[in-house]
A and B are shown apart, each in its own frame.
Chain A
Amino acid sequence: QLQLQESGPGLVKPSETLSLTCAVSGGSISSSSYCWGWIRQPPGKVLEWIGDIYYSGSTYYNPSLKSRVTISVDASKNQFSLKLSSVTAADTAVYYCTRRAYNSRWYWFDPWGQGTLVTVSS
């Protein structure tokens, strides 16, 4: 069974870069059928898609975050990463890593990691 696990600092200072890694187990990140990405949920707010990356390296970002986001894959470690630069308190959220799967023309997010809370504060 595929499992995803986020890791990274739980506290980041304003203006710095948030860095998270998602370890994939139970399957290969190099599968051609999936994208790997990130979704966040600020406390009490709506889930927000950040972006994802195809195994080949093609990336898809939310335009609202695109200037600050980088998602990358390390196939040798079977993991992928998120970097979000110039963070502010508005970036405080639970960050989930997820797989974007598809069937013909339909996409969905499954599974999800357990989520990791990142707080932006000095």
Chain B
Amino acid sequence: DIQMTQSPSSLSASVGDRVTITCRASQSISNYLNWYQQKLGKAPKFLIYAASSLQSGVPSRFSGSGSGTDFTLTISSLQPEDFATYYCQQSYNTPYTFGQGTKLEIK
């Protein structure tokens, strides 16, 4: 199985900050990388596919980049509704696997 490792596990930031979350795959996955946002007690919400393609309706302050084994999710200017846990997920092969999550908290 492909292991996905996110860093940091948690992050404190303020409204308006620019934040970056990193996801590393245990082997090359080209750009078969998705990002999700999960708020407490809610289902994950799909944000980005193919490492950098924004799902329709996702604010443009979210962006993704990377290829191979290293990927990033960047939020350019944090809004109050962005405080949540973010997960990466590889769709390169089955079994599809997720990172352990990065919890973004208000400073």
Contacts and interface: CB of A to CB of B under 8 A. Distances in A.
Interface stretch (B17-25, B42-50, B60-68): B42-50
B94 A62 contact: yes
Interface stretch (A17-25, A26-34, A75-83, A101-109): A101-109
A56 interface: no
A46 B98 contact: yes
At the interface, is chain B mostly helix, strand, loop or mixed? loop
A112 B44 contact: yes
Contacts of B36: 109
B98 A106 contact: no
A106 B50 contact: yes
B34 A108 contact: yes
A43 interface: no
A109 B46 contact: yes
B41 to A, nearest CB: 9
B80 interface: no
Given A106-B50, A108-B49, A109-B89, A49 B97 contact: yes
Interface string B31-57: 010101000001111100110010100
At the interface, is chain A mostly helix, strand, loop or mixed? strand
A108 B46 contact: yes
B95 A62 contact: yes
Given A114-B42, A115-B43, A103 B101 contact: no
B74 interface: no
Nearest to B31: A106
A15 to B, nearest CB: 25
Given A47-B98, A49-B96, 18 more contacts: A46-B99, A48-B98, A49-B94, A64-B95, A106-B32, A107-B32, A107-B91, A108-B34, A108-B46, A109-B34, A109-B46, A109-B89, A110-B46, A110-B55, A111-B43, A112-B43, A112-B45, A114-B43
Interface of A: 46-49, 60, 62-64, 96, 103, 105-115
